[in-house]
Structure 1
Amino acid sequence: MSTTDGPMLNARVVAMSAVVAAAVTVSTMVSIPVGIGYLNFGEVVIYTAAFLFGGVVGGLGGGVGAAAADVILGYGMFAPVTFVAKGIEGFIVGRLAGDSIRSKAIAVAAGAPFMIAAYVLTVAYLEGIPLAIPELAIDILQAVVGFAVALPLSRSLQSRLPELQ
């Protein structure tokens, strides 16, 4: 279910992107402490949406939703970085992911580094290099957990959701 064969933007793509953005916002706001920081579930929704609906929905929904969560949670200074980082990540994952587990893993391996690099560099610049090290670890963990949960979730949802073309 991807938008690669149809028009880039149509009413269904825009509507699904809005639904995904809302889900990304909520899932990003749900976090659990893990020794070195907090793990949220935004990547789960971004990767799931990218696998199911392609790069446009993954990118728009991921970027807008995660940036909205930053603003709501009081981290507005990170919202522009988040919008770009999660947007590029979701777009790349959605454009590259095929039906196989291997292609999805490759897609995440190609998309996640944009998110990881954006956050690590931003934290290094704003808060110093020592704080960028745990940021690197938590971002890698978030990408791995996001992939591990999105893979079976997207497979279970695939036959239940509409095509976007």
Structure 2
Amino acid sequence: MEIHVANERTQLEARLDSQREQILGILADLDEHEARARLVPSLTTPLGLVKHAVFVERIWFHSRVAGVPRAELGLPDSVDDSFVLTPGDTIESVRRSFLEACAHSRTVTAGRDLDEQFPWHRGPVDLRFIYGHMIAEFARHAGHGDILAEQLRARRPQDPTTS
């Protein structure tokens, strides 16, 4: 949903939700094999990008804003590890984890002031900064995912009746 005229918080939340939708869109029409495909030297895969987005939601909102220690959330110590897929990770399970993480993030931020500050290793940040950071992070990763998905779709056999 696009919102063109609204207060600052409504604008930030709408932009973040839009980017969350783009993150989920990475997996649209991919099969399980395609979702796990590595097309670049890094650990980045379409499914890994969405799994990383779950990690990012939990780090910024569940840990920093809500104050729950990373260990209690079961988060990996390394950002790179957040892209690693387990045999149990499926499109549906990772998608569900992302939706649940986003819903919890909305609950955690409800009623908090944009000026409220939270600890970060580079110094305190306010909720406004976190929203802006998340919008940029998800936009960047959604773009990565779009490119990977486009490459994967291009690999599919072409239907001669549609040429």
Task: Give me the TM-score of the superposition, normalised by structure 1.
Answer: 0.31
> Relative CO higher for 1 or 2, CA cutoff 8 Å, sep ≥ 6?
2
**Which structure has the greater CA radius of gyration?**
2
Task: Give me the TM-score of the superposition, normalised by structure 2.
Answer: 0.32
Q: Which structure has the highest helix share of the two?
A: 1
